[in-house]
Chain A
């Protein structure tokens, strides 16, 4: 078996046992990228030289008996929305083409301080606006399960990179589901931490009150290991929670024993029904049944305001995004475009021309929508009302968590659709995030774990586990339990059934 098929935890064990080196592991992943990324297009930038240098430094440390963390020497891919000193950071946008940040995001600094070689930057919908990675200005990422299908979004690049064994670990960001929905449709694991649980410093903001950085991996334990590296208080992010993380790795290891005796699992009534693919629902129900077999008690819980979550999100997000993206003004960094034949143009005219040339359709759509929702005369009806509904959604969570320790639903209503299928229909695209958005609005954590392949199309479906704020450990415990029970049934990981991709057309 190629070493690229090992989990991060297995690689860490092999490094600790002296069976392999970080250089060997990192080289294997760079070779794998060279072999399959022409077809998958998970990466926007590969830093082979930098990663190998960091790997050699890790090996040298280890030879001296010094390691920086349990993941020292395990390579990782980073979503291109996170600032990386010395490496291009484009956010999938032409307006930042070639921009090299002069500083690291806190999570990137923590990766370096923990000794993880950085393989490169992964593809995404422009400024994280999308659910398919088709809104990347640099072309879409392809789903490793079927190259004609979407890998989810906005973090389709990170999910596809781990699904295609191009990286054992990746960082993603989740504003409305951008870690969890790609996880679901690529048969991988992704966790959105509690809002404030992981630093946002150096994350190019889409919607500040919703964004969170989190782990993208192939197993629940790997996510927990990575979460412990990146999580915890950061004075550079004033919304960072100043409390210690719960022990996530321990929760994942405990969960893997498969015993959930006494756990109360709430099935959310509103996240099922019309529009939910039967094969996705079938795998969901089987997973719930497995949790019951493991000792959990299932209750049905109603969150009546969740039916308004999508509308609430698509008012709050564009409003925050339109303000955030005002910084792309062609003055201090990024693209500068002069209006044609106007060398005497004013700063404002240059700004208008640059923003037209540099932003893609979806970004323009959301900026205009946000500008509308925030304009006087409409503010109360749209943005103000959305903020109130946000309160009601949080109250729904409070009531539900009084009855259950965790809440569960399918992660996304369908399996991966075909590239191009929903590109001209924004509303159809937005519906992908139906089940993931409520967690962002309320700031609670959520994990997506593979639940199996849908009968209709043989494509992966995801199982979402939500927990109260700061109780991320519950997501890892229940996620690891479900994963262990399903692996027993399947006789291995779901990704064992994915196409090999060797020799795939570029």
Chain B
């Protein structure tokens, strides 16, 4: 299995929305390579005929009655927000200046 490069780690960090410092990238790339090497042993263990398991229990389509149930008040829902404005979550700008 392929070794993971520093550039690849930077790309993955970008996908995962984490700003990693240069020092963190230097440290993570070799660590991830070692981890990937150690998990590579599972390749070829299961043949094409083995179905995947996503869940330990064979549960499918769990429904409840379509009735209103109590939920959080707006005050409760907003209680942990970093910033609130007029009973709404206040967030940094979403679009660029030119938009």
**Residues of chain A at the chain B interface (Cβ within 8 Å):** 99-103, 195-196, 209-210, 235, 238-239, 241, 305, 308, 311-312, 314-315, 322, 326, 329-336, 338-339, 344-353, 355-356, 359, 361, 364-365, 367-369, 371-372, 375, 381-382, 384-392, 394, 426-427, 441-444, 469
Contacts and interface: CB of A to CB of B under 8 A. Distances in A.
Contacts of A364: 13, 18, 20, 24, 28
B17 A355 contact: yes
Contact of A389 (B16, B38, B45, B82): B45
Name the interface size band of chain B.
35 or more
Contacts of B53: 387-388, 390-391, 394
B56 A311 contact: no
Given A334-B82, A372-B12, A351 B31 contact: no
Given A241-B59, A385-B45, A392-B46, 16 more contacts: A195-B57, A239-B55, A241-B57, A314-B39, A331-B91, A332-B89, A339-B19, A345-B92, A364-B18, A372-B4, A372-B32, A388-B45, A391-B50, A391-B52, A442-B56, A444-B56
A102 B80 contact: yes
Contacts of A369: 32, 35-36
Given A336-B82, A350-B92, A102 B52 contact: no
A209 B56 contact: yes
27 contacts: A100-B80, A102-B72, A102-B79, A196-B57, A209-B54, A210-B56, A305-B45, A326-B16, A332-B80, A333-B82, A347-B93, A347-B94, A349-B92, A350-B92, A352-B17, A352-B18, A364-B18, A368-B12, A368-B18, A369-B36, A381-B43, A387-B52, A388-B46, A388-B52, A391-B46, A391-B52, A443-B55
B86 interface: no
Contact of B41 (A311, A348, A372): A311
A241 B34 CA distance: 38
Ranked 10 nearest A-B pairs via Cβ: A443-B56, A387-B52, A388-B46, A333-B80, A336-B82, A102-B76, A311-B39, A238-B62, A356-B19, A352-B19
A329 B91 CA distance: 10
Contacts of A344: 93
Interface of B: 1, 4, 8-9, 12-13, 15-21, 24, 28, 31-32, 34-36, 38-43, 45-46, 50-57, 59, 62, 64, 72, 76-77, 79-83, 89, 91-96
Contacts of A336: 82-83
Counting chain A CB atoms within 10 Å of each CB, the highest count among B46, B76, B77, B91 belongs to B46
Nearest to B47: A388
Contacts of A394: 53, 56
Contacts of A338: 92
Contacts of A209: 54-56
Contact of A331 (B24, B41, B50, B89): B89
B58 to A, nearest CB: 10
Contacts of B32: 365, 368-369, 372
Contact of A308 (B45, B57, B82): B45
A330 to B, nearest CB: 6
Given A209-B56, A353-B19, A385-B42, A391 B51 contact: yes
